[in-house]
Amino acid sequence: MWNLENKIVIVAGGRGLIGKEIVKELKNAGVTVIDADISCETDYDKDTFKLNLLDNTSIEELIKFTLEKYGRIDGMINSAYPHTKDWGKYHFEDDPYEHWAENINMQLNSVFYLDQQIAKVMVEQKSGSIVNFGSIYGIVGNDFTIYEDYGGTSPVEYCAVKGGIINFTRYLASYLGKDNVRVNCVCPGGIWDHQREEFVRNYNHRCPMKRMGNPDDIAPLCVFLVSEGAKYITGQIIAADGGWTAI
């Protein structure tokens, strides 16, 4: 039903926490995957590409790399999560403007350019699926009580970026629908990655399913959205969050 065999799909951030699982799931479904990540080395034979999302030329070269080898791009999943090294350090009132501006550029502006350039190819093809990544904190406000035990916080840039990506996705779906190009947004809940014990305990208490997510909770949804099984689904903001946004 999903009809994924022989599709050509780019995964931006393919070496990341969720990206690695997406790449694995796609390959298991018979997809040819271009694994694009800052941690990759470009290898034409292995379909890996060293992608720097902060360099527009790198994005353009990724598209050229894919088209020269395969002649089309059927799907693009952007699970990349670039951010500054001091990410999560600042509470709202102390956040320097320069920190805000740099992270907005890294996380939101890069999505714009990648989606724009990929969309040009898909419009010409009259087919394609783009999957962006939002977050529960692009859908609802932050629950700061989960950080109280240790004085932590959630970066203010995060909610702004993810909220922006969500409505940007709706814009693209509306704009590109006539060209048979679909654009959807996956919004994960918190994904377990060896966080502080206090955070995990508080998160699990708040979440209806009483646990954090894992990469294999998110990857199948991404695979579905680039498949023929989702051929009439576009402009949707889909939370995979254990029920977090339901309450």
Is the C-alpha dihedral spanning 101, 54, 6, 220 positive or negative?
Answer: negative
DSSP one-letter code for 76: E
Contact 22, 81 (CB under 8 A): no
Whether 97 sits among the annotated catalytic residues: the reply is: no
Cβ-based burial of 51 (10 A; exposed 0-12, middle 13-18, buried ≥19):
buried
Q: Which of 164, 165, 185 is nearest to 234 (CA)?
A: 185
- Other CB atoms within 10 A of residue 193 CB: 10
Is the C-alpha dihedral spanning 60, 226, 9, 67 positive or negative?
Answer: negative
Q: Which of 81, 137, 147, 158 is catalytic?
A: 158
**Residues acting as catalytic residues:** 158
